[in-house]
Amino acid sequence: MSRVLRLTAGALAAAFLMGCAPVGIDDALKETNSSASQFTGGKLELSRTKAQREARAALADDLLSEPLSEDGAVRLALANSPSVQALIAQSGAAISSANQTGRLPNPVFTFERMRLNSELELDRLLSFGLVDLILFPQRLSISRSQAAQAKIQLTGAVVDQVTQVKQAWVRAVAAQQSLQYAEQVNQSAEASAELARRMQLIGNFSKLQRARQQVFYADATTQLASARHAVTASREALVRGLGLDDSQAARLQLPERLPDLPKSPRDAREVASTASQQRLDVQLARAQLDVAGKSQGIDLLSTFVDVDAGVRRDTVFDSGTRSTRRGFEFDIRLPLFDWGSAQRDAMNAQTLAAANRYDATVRGATSQLREDYSAYRTAYDIARHYRDEIVPLRQSMAEENVLRYNGMLIGVFELLAEARDQIASVTHAIDAQQQFWLADSALAASVIGKPMTTGESMAGAASQTPFGAAH
């Protein structure tokens, strides 16, 4: 009996020592700052103390004191956004739950006191799950795999959050920049409509000619209203992404224009070499497969049998005498009605599904990267084409028409129409530049293994009506 107690105590001590170094949220933050440094700048942290919160508030005030750059927007979101802090805290909860998986269930102490006439009996039983003790190394391994999975999910969530902030910043700046040109188009259309009205009054314009100018003015007014709303909507989306309160939102300043295009696009081979088996989506699928496989191994035995082992010590008092009984007992659940076949089938199906998800993720990773690089390169080529070809040609045409107007070869309406066409080209150039920066942030996320969809935004841009299409 003493040998059994010593072995049990030794096993419990070894189990305690094996599980005494769990993974914490600080380890997850350190890994995220290391593996996704291009997104976090090593600044991701969970604010627990008043001093940390005050430091975050001071950084937010400093960033809001000047026009906010894209990098500044990322820093502000990481420091100021409650959503970022919430996902970190949620990740901490997931890691703690994973650590709990690696803990042995507490033993059960049972105490009984029974009296029969002059006899008093005190029964004491200390029991624990024998199967749990046998499978503890596997439980600990599952716990570590689940913690690793939670860390990968945290990194992916942060990458997703930062990418959304970058894209919200691009849209807000582009909308603000486009509004300026929408106002110029509206002013030109208003001047044309007023001039056409006066010329009709003196008999130099027909009713149809005036109506054409008036329709264009009406369309330009509608475009201006839509552009103003786009500024508000994109700005508020950025405010939400940055986690600003009302006073901070009032202080938010944005640059007047988007950054210039880079001198050359990223090389396809460089992008392909950067993305490897270390992609987050592949790592996460692999971690899920590991957990499913290990869980199947640990649950297989419990589907057949469950055993509780206990150490008993009973003391009996009778007529002034005292006697003690010692022993041990086993409680075994008999598989009479349920042999666990359904549970085993479910585990097999889950493991098979995890294996196929991993295979699908590995196969789709490079395909997704090629698609995102194609969107990036196409957006770059289009934006550069507008910058180097279309906008300069429109500028040259406008200058030539000014000379023709000064030579009285064309009238004022033709000159105003050419000015509107030039503004429309600049507006489309801004939109093309916006699509490039959206695709650039999406490609950066895809390289690390957190793909984002850029097709919808590009399709939305292609469907916009040119300002000069109505004349």
Q: pLDDT tier at 259 (50, 70, 90 boundaries)? A: very high
pLDDT score of 457: 44
Asked if pLDDT for residue 468 goes beyond 50, the answer is no
Q: What percent of the chain has pLDDT over 90?
A: 28
Query: Does pLDDT of 262 surpass 50?
Result: yes
Residue 438 phi, psi dihedral angles, 5° rounding? -65, -45
- Tokens read off for 453: 């969809």
Mean pLDDT of the chain: 82
pLDDT level of residue 217 (50, 70, 90 thresholds): confident
Query: Do the beta carbons of residue 61 and residue 76 sit within 8 Å?
Result: no
Give tens-digit pLDDT for 18-75: 445 677 888 889 988 988 888 998 889 888 888 988 888 899 999 999 999 999 999 9
Q: What is the pLDDT of residue 298?
A: 67
Kindly state the average pLDDT of the residues 200-220: 84
Taking 50 as the threshold, does the pLDDT of residue 465 lie above it? no
- Residues 195, 412 contacting (CB under 8 angstroms): yes
Q: What are phi and psi of 312, to 5 degrees?
A: -115, 145
Cα torsion angle, 407, 411, 412, 415, sign: negative
Cα distances (angstroms) measured from residue 211 to each of 200, 216, 222, 224: 10, 9, 17, 20
DSSP H or E segment with residue 197:
helix 136-201
Nearest to 240 by CA among 373, 118, 82: 82
Place of tokens 């149809």: 208
Q: Is-contact 244 116, C-beta < 8 A?
A: no
Q: For residue 466, is pLDDT > 60?
A: no
pLDDT digits (tens, 9 = 90+) for 356-393: 988 888 888 888 888 999 999 999 999 999 999 988 88
The residue type at 79? A
Mean pLDDT score, 260-277: 82
- Torsion from C-alpha of 92, 95, 96, 101, nearest 10 degrees: 170
Query: Per residue in 282-333, pLDDT tens?
Result: 888 888 888 888 777 666 666 666 777 778 888 878 777 888 888 878 777 7
Encoded amino acid at 304, one letter: F
Question: pTM score, two decimals?
Answer: 0.81
Per-residue confidence (pLDDT) for residue 462, from 0 to 100: 40
In this structure, are residues 39 and 159 in contact, taking their beta carbons and an 8 Å threshold? yes
CB of 350 within 8 A of CB of 296?
yes
Superfamily name with CATH number, domain 19-470: Outer membrane efflux proteins (OEP) (1.20.1600.10)
Distance CA 194, CA 196 (A): 5
| Tokens found for residue 256 | 């007047």
| Overall size of the chain counted in residues | 471
Going from N- to C-terminal start, the domains of the chain cover: 19-470
Residue 20: predicted pLDDT: 52
Query: What pLDDT score does 67 carry?
Result: 94
